[in-house]
């Protein structure tokens, strides 16, 4: 699912061009058009149809490699590529919480990228691994970042309604998900809880100190194709009004916007005023799937405030996120060697 998004987003890209594709031994040696069961509505780009799919081994691959491997294999394969000198921009979970691996959202914590230099030194690699967060973490953290930076977070509760494309292809059996809600996604709640604190942590002395707030996540799979919706409640360290929070969202800009990185959303957070938005049906593709759409901000009788956030899981939560990481890296000279 994510590999196809990469291929699609790389078509006509101003900075990067798809040159090499690799997957499991099931696909290796086949033309991409035969190996891949293309599930996107946009047609498969012509340029890649005849690419012969490689085995997942370094050597013939270009310097910059985007990884969306199954997490059963990503851990070792990504290390092998980084040791061989490749810049691995990964979407898999295996290395996200390694202390010397940047876990990045360029609109939130671009300064954490400097961890990659420590990583290269400590591991003696010619290349490096840089990661983006879990697809559920992205929308949550994008919506929290302006609050943490201005007012300080104390507590966060998040309940997700996650799309089926988040489970990869072919994903869940129809009989499990049809007309159903599944209140369990293995490992997801733990990922959201740890990654959120790392992403919103402070970078100092070549390490990241996790944010000093607590996060509790409930993750559910629902019968939506793409787009993770989240109900979020928060309490803050500072006394603020609803207007302060709305203003923090509306005015939020960061490095990708300042540098005009290609495909960075002009408005990373879009606030919907209607009482029944955001909705997958109308808001999923805001800013080409790169914006986080929020709404329904109101007081919370248990914590202080509550709201809804929506984010595209295979674009902002996966391939689009990794591409933006690579653009940040290019803009800082990490790809110049
Ligand atoms: N879907 C999402 O919304 C999402 C969001 C964020 C992060 N992620 C993460 O991104 C990764 C990919 O997710 P996905 O949804 O795209 O999964 P997917 O559709 O199941 O694709 C997994 C890919 O891994 C390849 N693979 C499996 N075993 C391999 C092996 N032994 N050697 C080399 N390649 C192998 C598969 O190759 P074949 O094509 O040959 O089978 C396939 O291309 C996962 O780690 C997932 O947790 C997914």
Task: Give the relative orientation of helices 135-150 and 242-250 as an angle to the nearest 10 degrees.
Answer: 120
What pLDDT is attached to residue 59? 86
C-alpha neighbours within 13 Å on the C-beta side of residue 199 = 30
C-alpha neighbours within 13 Å on the C-beta side of residue 311 = 31
CB atoms within 10 A of CB 247: 15
- Which residues surround ligand 1 with Cβ inside 6 Å? 1-3, 23-24, 26-27, 56, 68-71, 73-74, 91-93, 134-135, 165-166, 168-169, 313-314, 317-318
What pLDDT is attached to residue 296? 98
Print pLDDT tens along the chain (337 aa): 999 999 999 999 999 999 999 999 999 999 999 999 999 999 999 999 999 999 999 989 999 999 999 999 999 999 999 999 999 999 999 999 999 999 999 999 999 999 999 999 999 999 999 999 999 999 999 999 999 999 999 999 999 999 999 999 999 999 999 999 999 999 999 999 999 999 999 999 999 999 999 999 999 999 999 999 999 999 999 999 999 999 999 999 999 999 999 989 999 999 999 999 999 999 999 999 999 999 999 999 999 999 999 999 999 999 999 999 999 999 999 998 6
Q: Which of 112, 228, 267, 312 is catalytic?
A: 228
Tokens of 60: 């013939």
Q: Whose CA is nearest to atom 40 of ligand 1?
A: 24
- Whether a cis peptide bond, with omega within 30° of 0, leads into 99 is no
Q: Which of 24, 58, 225, 323 to mutate to test the pocket of ligand 1 (most atoms within 8 A of CB)?
A: 24
- Whether a cis peptide bond, with omega within 30° of 0, leads into 39 is no
Does 228 participate in catalysis according to the annotation? yes
Sign of the Cα torsion 318, 283, 167, 27 reads negative
Helix (H, G, I), strand (E, B) or coil at 31: strand
What pLDDT is attached to residue 167? 96
Distance 82 CA to ligand 1 centre (A): 19
What pLDDT is attached to residue 336? 85
User: Model's pTM, two decimal places?
Assistant: 0.97
């Amino acid at each position: 699912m994510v590999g196809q998004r990469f291929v699609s987003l790389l078509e006509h890209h101003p900075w990067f061009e798809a040159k090499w594709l690799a997957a499991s031994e099931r696909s290796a040696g086949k033309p991409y058009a035969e190996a891949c069961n293309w599930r996107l509505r946009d047609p498969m780009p012509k340029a890649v149809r005849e690419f012969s799919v490689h085995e997942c081994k370094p050597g013939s691959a270009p310097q910059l490699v985007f990884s969306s491997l199954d997490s059963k294999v990503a851990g070792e394969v990504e290390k092998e590529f980084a040791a061989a000198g490749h810049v691995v921009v990964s979407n898999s979970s295996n290395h996200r919480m390694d202390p010397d691996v940047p876990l990045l959202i360029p609109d939130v914590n671009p300064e954490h990228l400097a961890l990659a230099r420590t990583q290269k030194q400590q591991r003696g690699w010619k290349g490096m691994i840089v990661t983006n967060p879990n697809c559920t973490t992205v929308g949550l953290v994008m919506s929290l970042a302006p609050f943490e930076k201005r007012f300080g977070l104390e507590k966060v509760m998040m309940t997700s309604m996650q799309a089926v494309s988040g489970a990869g292809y072919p994903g869940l059996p129809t009989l499990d998900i049809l007309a159903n809600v599944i209140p369990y996604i293995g490992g997801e709640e733990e990922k959201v809880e740890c990654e959120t604190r790392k992403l919103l942590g402070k970078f100092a002395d070549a390490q990241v100190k996790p944010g000093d707030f607590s996060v509790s996540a409930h993750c559910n799979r629902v019968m939506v194709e793409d787009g993770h919706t989240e109900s979020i409640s928060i309490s803050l360290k500072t006394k603020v009004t609803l207007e302060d929070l709305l203003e923090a969202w509306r005015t939020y800009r960061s490095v990708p916007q300042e540098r005009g990185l290609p495909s960075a959303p002009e408005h990373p957070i879009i606030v919907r005023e209607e009482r029944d938005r955001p909705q997958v049906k109308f808001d999923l593709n805001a800013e080409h799937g790169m914006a986080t759409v929020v709404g329904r901000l109101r007081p919370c009788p248990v914590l202080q405030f509550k709201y809804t956030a929506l984010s595209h899981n295979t674009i902002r939560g996966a391939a689009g996120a990794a591409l933006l990481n690579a653009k940040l890296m290019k803009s800082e000279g990490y790809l110049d060697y």
